[in-house]
C-alpha cells in the first residue's frame, strides 16, 4: 500500500502552533483511537493566536484557491454519526489564491473568543474545540489540518450553597436521615456528611455512596439518557442499630468528573447525582438519589 | 455445620494466603518507593479482613498477620523522603480507598504518623479517627479495627506530661477519645449477641468472651492515663463508663466490665466513688453475677485496708461499710432468684471486709450475720453444699479474726446462722469453734457464754432429729467427742458459784447426749466438778455452809447424779474409776459418809457390772490403791471396805492375779503415814496368803504344763516383804526374808522351771538392793545384817 500512501500523501505539511504554546498549560486529551495526547488549555474569552505554516513537499508547488483557518466549536453525537453542530465558527483568511513554492508561515489571531461550553467527552457525544486550516484547491481536493484544544471554564464559588438534608425511609422498616454538607461541589471538593439511622428493621450488609453521571442528549422523543456510576464508595460495613450515625467523607479528586452542564446548546445535559445505596443481607438494594451540582473552581 | 471447623480452617488459610500474596507485592512497592502501588496492595491485603466467615479466634489470627504488615507500611509512610508526599496529603490519599475497612486501617496507620509529626494537634486527629471508625458496624470487624486504633494511639494520647499534650485541658481530650472508643467497642461487642450468623447462644457467648479483653483494654488504657486523677475519675470517667455499662443491658458485658473497672482502677478511687459504683449494681441485668462483682470489690477494698493502717480513716470517712451493706441488701432484694450460695458469698465478703476495716465494730459483724439469717430464713432448707461451705466461711471468719470465741459468743445472730446448717456442716462448724478455742486457749468464764456456746455446738452434744446415725464414722465421732471433752476443761471461772452454774449448764446439755457420748463427756464433767471442789477448799472453809447451794455435799450429789447417768450406757469401768475419784475427793473434804457411799457404789459396780476378769483385775487394783489412801474412814467402815477388797482379791480368776491382788491388799493394813493404820499382823497374813497362792499357782503350772510357774510372783512377794521389813513391821522378820530367798533359789534351780530372764533380772536386782542396804550400814544396815545371801 506504500505507493498508495505516497499517492494520497498530501502535497504539503501543515502545522498549527499557538503563540504561547510553550507556557500554556497542557492537559491530557483522549483521542478516538484511545491514545492520550497533551493539548493546550484555554478558557472562554481568551485570545487564540498562533501560526500556521505550510511546507510543500520537496520540489512540489501547491496551487491553491486560498488558505483559511477556522475556529470551530462542535457538538458531535455518536448515535448520529457525522452529524456535527457547530455552535461556534470563526474564520480568518490567511492567503489569497496563488502558489506556494516553499515553506510559508501565517500568523493568525482570534481575539477574545466566546467559548461558553467546555470540552466534553461523554458516552454519547463529545464537545470539541478545534482549529481547522484549509488549503483550498481545484483538483485533488482541499488539504485540511486540525488542531484540537481544550476549553475549561471556571466558576466562582456559588453564593448560595445549601446543604442537602433529607429523611427517607420505608415504613416500619428503615428510616434514615442523611445530610451532605453542600449541594454544589467543585471538582476537588470533599463531600462531608452523615447518615443517621432512625429505624432499622432490616439486616443491612453495607452502605455505599455512588457518584452517578447522567448524560442526556437530544430532546423530546429522541432523548438519549446514559447513566454511569463513576464512584462507588463504601460508607459502612455491617448492620447498624437505631441511633447510629455514620460519617461520610468522600474526596472527589480521584474521580474523573466534569462540571454539571445544563442544556448545552439545546443539545445535551450532564448532571451528577449522589446515590446512597443500602444493601441488605438478601442483596436487596435500597437507595436514594440526590442531584448535586459540580462546578470548576479556579485553582488557587 | 458438620465440618464447620474444617471449613473455617480452610477460610483462614485462604485469608492468610491472600494477605501474604498482597503483602509480597506491597513489599515490592515499598522497596521501590512506589506509593501508589503500596497503597493499592495494602488496601487489597486489608480487604482480606473483610471476611465474615471466621470466628473471633481465627479472625484474630488473620488480624495479627495484617497487623504485622501494617507495621512495615507505617515505617514506609513515616519516611517521606521515600514517597515524597506530606503526611497531610497522605492522610487524604489513603481515604480514596473505596472499601471502608482497608480505608480505615490505612487511615489509622497514617493517623498515628500524623500525630507523631505534630502537624496537627493529636486531639484533632484522634477525634477524626474515632469518629470515622463508626463506618464499620460489623461487630467483629469493628472491634478489631477499633482495637487497632487503640493500639496505635496508646502512646500518642495527649496526656499530662506526654509530648502530645496540647495547650489546656487536653487530658480531657485523651479521656474523651478513649471513652468514645470504649463506648463504641462495647456497643459492637454487645451487638454480637444479637447479630451475625445464627448459632447457639452458648457458642456466641464463648466467642464474645474471647473478645472481651479487646473492650476491657480501653479501661486499662484509661487507668494508665496520668491525668486521670481522682477528681476526673469521679466526675467524668466513672460516670461515663458506668452509663455505658448500665445502658448496654447485656449481662456478659456488664459482668465483665464491672469486674474490669474494679480491677484496673486504684483502690482509693473505688473508695471515694463507692456510692456511684455501688449505685450501678442494682441497675444491672438480673442475670448478672453481681455477687462476684461485689465480692471482688470488697476483697480488693479489704486488701487495701489491710495494706496499711493509714488508709483506714478514709474508709470511715466514706462510710464504706454502710454503703456496701446497703448495696448488698439492694442487690439481694432485687435478685430474687439469686441462689443462696450467692447471697451468702456476698455476706462472707462483706464480713471479711468489715473485719479488716472495722475490727472494733462487732455490731457490724452481727449486722451482717443478721442479714444473712434473714436471707436464710426465707429458704426452707439449705441443701446446696457450696452454700454450706460459704456459711462455714461466714462463721469462721470472725473466729479467725478475733482469735477468740468469746467475741463470737456475744454475737446474737451467730447461733441463728448456725441453725441453718445441715447436721454435718453444723458439726463441722462446731468443731471449728472448739478448735479455735483450743488453739487460742480461750477460757469461757461465764455461764451465759457457756450456754450460748453449747447452743452453738449442740450438733456435737446430742443427736439431732433426722440425723442418720448409721453414717457416722466411728473415728470422726470419737474425735468430735474428745474435742467436746477437751472443751469442757476450757470452761472455767474463779468464782465457785459461777463455776457451779457452768457445770450445771454443761451437765444439762451433756446429759441429753445419749449413751454413745456420755462416756466422753461425763469424765470431763466429773473432773471439772472435782476441780471446783478443790477450788472451794482452797478458798478457806468459810463459804461452806453459808450458802446452801455451794456445799461440797451439794457438789457430791451432783457428781453422783452425773456418774449414775453412765449406768445407761453402760460403762461400769469408767463409772467405777469416777466413783473412786470422787471418793478420794470426799476424803479430801473429810466427809466420811460420802466417801463411803462412793466406795459402796464402786463395789456394787464391781460386783454387779464388771464381769470381765481383766477388767476385774484392773478394777481391784484401783480400788485397793484408792482405799489405801483414804484416811477419812473410821475403823468400822474401813474394816468393812478392806475386808471386801481383800475378799474380792482372793476371788479373782487367775492365780497370778489373785496373788498380786492379795499382796497389794497388804498395803491396806499398813499406811505409811504418821497416824496411818499399821497392822503388821494382817500385813503378814496377806503376804503369807499371797505366798500360798503363788505356791498353788506353781503347782498348778507343774501339773498343767509340766513346767514351773512364774517365779516372778515369788520375787514380787519378796519385794513386799523387804518393803514392810524396812518400814519396821515387826511381823516381818529377816529369817522370813531369808527363807523366801532360799525358796526362790530352789525354785529357780529346779529343772522343771523354765529359765525366765525377766524374773532372773528382777531377782538379781532385788538381791543387789539387799546387799546395798547391808553395806550402807546404820540402822537399816543392821536390820539387813542378819539376811544371808
Residues B775, B781, B786, B787, CA torsion sign = negative
A257 part of a folded domain: yes
Q: Is B135 close to A246, i.e. CB distance below 8 A?
A: yes
A122 and A39 share a domain?
yes
A194 and A145 share a domain?
no
pLDDT tens-digit readout, B186-200? 999 998 887 655 567
Q: What is the least distance, in Å, from the CA of B180 to any CA of chain A?
A: 13
A300 part of a folded domain: no
pLDDT tens-digit readout, B517-538? 787 888 888 888 888 878 777 7
**pLDDT mean over B710-730:** 83
Q: Give the three-class secondary structure for B482.
A: helix
Note the pLDDT of residue B497.
79
Q: Is A237 close to B137, i.e. CB distance below 8 A?
A: yes
Contacts of B192 in chain A (CB under 8 A): none
**pLDDT value at B739 more than 70:** yes
Query: pLDDT category, B166, cuts 50, 70, 90?
Result: low
CB distance A118 to A151 below 8 Å? yes
Which contiguous run of DSSP H or E holds residue A1? none
Higher pLDDT, B742 or A300: B742
Q: Is B99 close to A234, i.e. CB distance below 8 A?
A: yes
- Helical H segments across B609-654, by residue range: 613-629, 635-650
Of A126-130, B562-566, B637-641, the one with minimum mean pLDDT is: B562-566
Which of B95, B138, B195 faces A237 most closely, judged by CB atoms? B138
Q: What is the CATH number of the domain that holds A19?
A: 2.60.40.640
> By a Cβ cutoff of 8 Å, what residues of chain A touch chain B?
203, 206, 231-241, 244-247, 249, 251, 253-254
Q: Is B95 close to A236, i.e. CB distance below 8 A?
A: no
Of A157-166, A183-192, B400-409, B616-625, the one with minimum mean pLDDT is: B400-409
Number of domains composing chain A: 2
Residue of A nearest to B50 (CA): A237
How much of chain B exceeds pLDDT 70, in percent?
93
Q: How far apart are the first and last CA of chain B?
A: 108
A170 and A144 share a domain?
no
**pLDDT value at A162 more than 50:** yes
Note the pLDDT of residue B1.
43
Note the pLDDT of residue B151.
92
**pLDDT value at B550 more than 70:** no
A68 and A104 share a domain?
yes
Per DSSP bridges, beta strands A204-217 and A104-110 are unpaired
CB distance B632 to B591 below 8 Å? yes
Q: Is A247 close to B191, i.e. CB distance below 8 A?
A: no
- Helical H segments across B630-756, by residue range: 635-650, 655-665, 680-705, 711-726, 734-749
A61 and A175 share a domain?
no
Q: What does the alpha-carbon distance between residue B388 and residue B384 come to, in Å, rounded to a whole number?
A: 6
Note the pLDDT of residue B441.
76
Note the pLDDT of residue B464.
63
pLDDT tens-digit readout, B609-666? 888 888 888 888 888 888 888 888 888 888 888 888 888 888 888 888 888 888 888 8
Q: What is the least distance, in Å, from the CA of B99 to any CA of chain A?
A: 5
- Sequence-separated (6 or more) residues with CB below 8 Å from residue B230: B268, B269, B272
List, in sequence order, every residue forming a beta bridge with B711; answer none if it has no partner: none
Residue of B nearest to A251 (CA): B96
Q: Is B135 close to A235, i.e. CB distance below 8 A?
A: yes
**pLDDT value at A5 more than 50:** no
Q: What is the least distance, in Å, from the CA of A197 to any CA of chain B?
A: 12
- Probe site for chain A from B137, B139, B145 (most A CB atoms < 10 A): B137
Higher pLDDT, B706 or B522: B522
Cα dist. B139→B51, B96, B196 in Å? 12, 24, 8
**pLDDT value at B743 more than 70:** yes
Note the pLDDT of residue B196.
55
Is the pTM higher than 0.80? The answer reads: no
CATH class as words, domain B654-788 = mainly alpha
Note the pLDDT of residue A151.
95
What residue segments make up the domains of chain B, in order of their start? 1-120, 124-265, 282-403, 654-788
**pLDDT value at B295 more than 80:** yes
A12 part of a folded domain: yes
Note the pLDDT of residue B168.
63
A193 and A231 share a domain?
yes
Q: What does the alpha-carbon distance between residue B115 and residue B120 come to, in Å, rounded to a whole number?
A: 7
The chain-wide mean pLDDT, for chain B, equals 83
Note the pLDDT of residue A3.
47
Q: Is B137 close to A247, i.e. CB distance below 8 A?
A: no
Q: Is A247 close to B139, i.e. CB distance below 8 A?
A: no
A217 and A263 share a domain?
yes
- Sequence-separated (6 or more) residues with CB below 8 Å from residue B462: B509, B512, B513, B514, B517
Q: Cβ–Cβ contacts within 10 Å for residue B203, how many?
A: 11
A100 and A241 share a domain?
no
Note the pLDDT of residue B660.
87
**pLDDT value at A239 more than 60:** yes
**pLDDT mean over A58-66:** 84
**pLDDT value at B708 more than 60:** no
**pLDDT value at B543 more than 80:** no
Which span out of A50-59, A195-204, B750-759 was modeled with the highest average pLDDT?
Answer: A195-204
A275 part of a folded domain: yes
Residues B360, B363, B366, B372, CA torsion sign = negative
CB distance B712 to B762 below 8 Å? yes
Q: Is B138 close to A247, i.e. CB distance below 8 A?
A: no
**pLDDT value at B2 more than 50:** no
A175 part of a folded domain: yes
Q: Is A249 close to B100, i.e. CB distance below 8 A?
A: no
A7 part of a folded domain: yes
How much of chain B exceeds pLDDT 90, in percent?
23
Cα dist. B257→A146, A231, B134, B264, B784 in Å? 75, 42, 22, 10, 98
Contacts of B131 in chain A (CB under 8 A): 247
Residue of A nearest to B138 (CA): A238
A120 and A16 share a domain?
yes
Higher pLDDT, B259 or B402: B259
Query: pLDDT category, A259, cuts 50, 70, 90?
Result: very high
**pLDDT value at B273 more than 50:** yes
A53 and A143 share a domain?
yes
**pLDDT mean over B723-730:** 83
Higher pLDDT, A209 or B511: A209
Note the pLDDT of residue A1.
39
Which of A236, A246, A251 faces B95 most closely, judged by CB atoms? A251
Of B406, B467, B472, B473, nearest to B433 by C-alpha is: B406
pLDDT tens-digit readout, B71-110? 999 999 998 888 889 999 999 999 999 999 999 999 999 9
A94 part of a folded domain: yes
Q: Is B135 close to A233, i.e. CB distance below 8 A?
A: no
Q: Is A237 close to B96, i.e. CB distance below 8 A?
A: no
Q: Give the three-class secondary structure for B20.
A: helix
Q: What does the alpha-carbon distance between residue B668 and residue B674 come to, in Å, rounded to a whole number?
A: 15
Which contiguous run of DSSP H or E holds residue A185? strand A184-186
A58 part of a folded domain: yes
Q: Is B131 close to A247, i.e. CB distance below 8 A?
A: yes
Contacts of A240 in chain B (CB under 8 A): 137
Q: Is B137 close to A236, i.e. CB distance below 8 A?
A: yes
A128 and A178 share a domain?
no
> By a Cβ cutoff of 8 Å, what residues of chain B touch chain A?
50, 92, 95-96, 98-101, 103, 131-132, 134-139, 141-142, 187, 191, 195
pLDDT tens-digit readout, A91-105? 999 999 988 888 999
Note the pLDDT of residue A111.
92
Final residue before a domain boundary, out of A120, A151, A182: A151
Query: pLDDT category, A205, cuts 50, 70, 90?
Result: very high
Note the pLDDT of residue A82.
66
Query: pLDDT category, B150, cuts 50, 70, 90?
Result: very high
3-state secondary structure B342-398: HHHHHHHHHHHHHHHHCCCCHHHHHHHHHHHHHHHHCCCCCCCHHHHHHHHHHHHHH
Residue of B nearest to A237 (CA): B136
Note the pLDDT of residue A6.
47
A185 and A93 share a domain?
no
CB distance B367 to B353 below 8 Å? no
Q: Which domain holds residue A277?
A: 164-295
Amino acid at each position: 500500500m506504500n505507493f498508495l500512501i505516497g499517492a494520497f500523501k498530501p502535497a504539503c505539511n501543515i502545522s498549527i502552533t499557538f503563540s504561547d504554546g510553550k507556557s500554556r498549560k497542557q492537559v491530557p486529551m483522549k483521542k478516538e483511537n484511545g491514545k492520550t495526547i497533551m493539548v493546550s488549555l484555554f478558557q472562554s474569552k481568551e485570545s487564540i493566536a498562533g501560526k500556521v505554516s505550510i511546507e510543500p513537499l520537496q520540489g512540489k508547488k501547491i496551487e491553491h484557491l486560498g488558505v483559511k483557518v477556522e475556529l470551530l466549536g462542535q457538538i458531535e453525537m455518536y448515535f448520529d454519526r457525522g452529524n456535527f453542530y457547530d455552535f461556534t465558527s470563526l474564520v480568518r483568511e490567511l492567503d489569497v489564491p496563488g502558489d506556494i513554492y516553499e515553506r510559508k508561515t501565517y500568523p493568525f489571531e482570534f481575539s477574545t473568543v466566546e467559548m461558553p461550553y467546555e470540552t466534553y467527552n461523554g458516552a454519547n457525544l463529545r464537545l470539541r474545540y478545534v482549529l481547522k486550516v484549509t488549503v483550498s484547491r481545484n483538483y485533488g481536493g482541499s488539504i485540511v489540518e486540525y488542531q484540537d484544544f481544550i476549553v475549561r471554564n471556571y466558576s466562582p464559588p456559588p453564593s448560595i450553597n445549601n446543604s442537602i438534608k433529607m429523611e427517607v425511609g420505608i415504613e416500619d422498616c428503615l428510616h434514615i436521615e442523611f445530610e451532605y454538607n453542600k449541594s454544589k461541589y467543585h471538582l476537588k471538593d470533599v463531600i462531608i456528611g452523615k447518615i443517621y439511622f432512625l429505624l432499622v428493621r432490616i439486616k443491612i450488609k453495607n452502605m455505599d455512596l455512588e457518584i452517578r453521571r447522567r448524560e442526556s442528549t437530544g430532546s423530546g422523543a429522541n432523548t438519549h439518557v446514559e447513566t454511569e456510576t463513576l464512584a462507588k464508595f463504601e460508607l459502612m460495613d455491617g448492620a447498624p442499630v437505631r441511633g447510629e450515625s455514620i460519617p461520610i467523607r468522600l474526596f472527589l479528586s480521584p474521580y474523573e468528573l466534569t462540571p454539571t452542564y445544563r442544556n448545552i446548546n439545546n443539545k445535551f445535559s450532564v448532571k451528577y447525582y449522589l446515590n446512597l445505596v443500602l444493601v441488605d443481607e438478601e442483596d436487596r438494594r435500597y437507595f436514594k438519589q440526590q442531584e448535586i451540582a459540580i462546578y470548576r473552581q479556579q485553582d488557587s | 455445620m458438620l465440618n464447620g471447623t474444617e471449613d473455617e480452617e480452610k477460610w483462614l488459610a485462604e485469608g492468610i494466603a491472600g494477605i501474604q500474596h498482597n503483602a509480597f507485592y506491597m513489599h515490592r512497592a515499598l522497596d521501590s518507593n512506589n506509593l501508589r502501588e503500596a497503597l493499592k496492595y495494602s488496601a487489597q491485603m486489608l480487604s482480606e479482613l473483610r471476611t465474615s466467615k471466621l470466628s473471633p479466634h481465627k479472625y484474630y489470627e488473620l488480624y495479627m498477620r495484617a497487623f504485622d504488615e501494617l507495621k512495615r507500611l507505617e515505617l514506609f509512610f513515616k519516611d517521606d523522603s521515600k514517597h515524597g508526599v506530606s503526611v497531610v496529603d497522605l492522610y487524604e490519599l489513603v481515604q480514596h480507598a473505596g472499601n471502608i475497612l482497608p480505608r480505615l486501617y490505612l487511615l489509622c496507620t497514617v493517623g498515628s504518623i500524623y500525630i507523631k509529626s505534630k502537624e496537627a494537634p493529636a486531639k484533632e486527629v484522634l477525634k477524626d479517627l474515632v469518629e470515622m471508625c463508626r463506618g464499620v458496624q460489623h461487630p467483629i470487624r469493628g472491634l478489631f479495627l477499633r482495637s487497632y486504633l487503640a493500639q496505635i494511639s496508646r502512646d500518642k494520647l495527649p496526656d499530662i506530661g506526654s509530648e502530645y499534650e496540647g495547650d489546656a485541658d487536653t487530658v480531657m481530650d485523651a479521656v474523651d477519645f478513649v471513652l468514645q472508643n470504649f463506648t463504641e467497642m462495647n456497643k459492637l461487642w454487645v451487638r454480637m449477641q444479637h447479630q451475625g450468623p445464627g448459632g447457639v447462644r452458648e457458642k456466641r457467648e464463648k466467642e464474645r468472651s474471647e473478645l472481651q479483653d479487646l473492650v476491657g483494654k480501653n479501661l486499662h488504657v484509661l487507668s494508665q492515663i496520668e491525668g486521670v486523677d481522682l477528681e476526673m475519675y469521679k466526675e467524668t470517667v466513672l460516670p461515663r463508663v458506668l452509663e455505658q455499662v448500665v445502658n448496654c443491658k447485656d449481662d456478659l458485658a456488664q459482668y465483665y466490665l464491672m469486674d474490669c473497672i474494679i480491677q484496673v482502677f486504684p483502690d482509693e478511687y473505688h473508695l471515694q466513688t463507692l456510692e456511684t459504683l455501688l449505685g450501678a449494681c442494682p441497675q444491672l441485668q438480673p442475670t448478672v453475677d453481681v455477687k462476684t462483682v461485689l465480692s471482688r470489690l470488697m476483697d480488693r477494698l479489704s486488701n487495701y485496708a489491710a495494706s496499711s493502717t493509714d488508709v483506714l480513716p478514709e474508709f470511715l470517712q466514706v462510710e464504706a461499710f454502710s454503703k456496701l451493706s446497703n448495696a448488698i441488701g439492694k442487690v439481694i432484694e432485687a435478685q430474687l432468684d439469686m441462689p443462696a450460695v450467692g447471697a451468702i458469698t456476698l455476706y462472707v465478703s462483706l464480713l471479711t471486709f468489715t473485719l479488716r476495716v472495722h475490727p472494733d465494730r462487732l455490731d457490724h459483724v452481727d449486722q451482717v450475720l443478721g442479714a444473712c439469717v434473714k436471707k436464710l430464713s426465707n429458704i426452707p432448707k439449705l441443701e446446696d453444699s457450696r452454700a454450706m461451705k460459704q456459711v462455714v466461711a461466714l462463721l469462721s471468719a470472725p473466729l479467725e479474726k478475733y482469735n477468740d470465741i468469746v467475741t463470737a459468743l456475744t454475737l446474737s445472730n451467730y447461733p441463728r446462722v448456725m441453725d441453718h446448717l445441715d447436721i454435718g456442716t453444723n458439726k463441722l462448724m462446731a468443731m471449728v469453734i472448739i478448735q479455735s478455742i483450743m488453739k487460742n486457749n480461750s477460757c469461757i468464764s461465764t455461764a451465759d457464754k457457756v450456754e450460748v456456746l453449747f447452743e452453738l455446738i449442740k450438733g456435737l452434744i446430742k443427736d439431732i432429729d433426722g440425723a442418720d446415725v448409721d453414717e457416722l464414722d466411728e473415728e470422726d465421732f470419737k474425735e468430735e467427742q474428745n474435742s467436746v471433752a477437751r472443751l469442757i476443761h476450757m470452761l472455767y471461772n474463779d468464782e465457785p458459784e459461777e463455776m457451779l452454774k457452768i457445770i450445771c449448764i454443761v451437765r444439762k446439755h451433756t446429759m441429753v447426749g445419749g449413751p454413745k457420748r456420755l462416756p466422753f463427756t461425763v469424765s470431763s464433767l466429773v473432773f471439772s466438778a472435782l476441780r471446783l471442789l478443790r477450788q472451794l477448799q482452797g478458798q478457806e472453809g468459810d463459804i461452806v455452809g453459808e450458802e446452801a447451794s455451794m456445799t461440797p455435799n451439794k457438789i457430791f450429789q451432783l457428781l453422783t447424779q452425773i456418774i449414775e447417768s453412765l449406768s445407761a450406757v453402760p460403762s461400769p469401768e469408767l463409772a467405777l474409776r469416777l466413783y473412786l475419784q470422787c471418793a478420794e475427793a470426799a476424803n479430801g473434804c473429810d466427809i466420811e459418809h460420802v466417801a463411803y457411799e462412793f466406795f459402796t457404789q464402786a463395789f456394787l459396780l464391781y460386783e454387779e457390772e464388771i464381769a470381765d476378769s481383766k477388767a476385774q483385775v484392773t478394777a481391784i487394783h484401783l480400788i485397793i490403791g484408792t482405799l489405801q489412801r483414804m484416811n477419812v474412814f473410821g475403823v468400822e467402815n474401813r474394816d468393812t471396805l478392806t475386808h471386801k477388797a481383800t475378799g474380792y482379791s482372793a476371788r479373782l480368776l487367775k492365780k497370778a492375779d489373785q496373788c498380786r491382788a492379795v499382796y497389794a491388799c497388804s498395803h491396806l493394813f499398813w499406811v505409811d503415814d504418821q497416824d496411818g493404820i499399821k497392822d503388821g499382823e494382817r500385813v503378814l497374813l496377806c503376804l503369807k496368803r499371797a505366798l500360798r497362792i503363788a505356791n498353788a499357782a506353781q503347782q498348778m503350772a507343774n501339773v498343767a504344763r509340766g513346767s514351773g510357774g512364774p517365779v516372778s510372783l515369788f520375787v514380787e512377794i519378796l519385794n513386799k516383804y523387804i518393803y514392810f521389813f524396812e518400814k519396821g513391821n515387826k511381823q516381818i522378820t529377816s529369817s522370813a526374808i531369808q527363807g523366801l530367798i532360799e525358796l526362790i533359789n530352789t525354785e529357780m534351780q529346779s529343772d522343771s522351771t523354765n529359765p525366765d530372764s525377766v524374773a532372773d533380772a528382777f531377782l538379781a536386782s532385788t538381791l543387789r538392793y539387799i546387799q546395798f542396804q547391808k553395806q550402807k550400814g546404820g540402822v537399816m544396815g543392821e536390820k539387813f545384817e542378819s539376811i544371808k545371801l
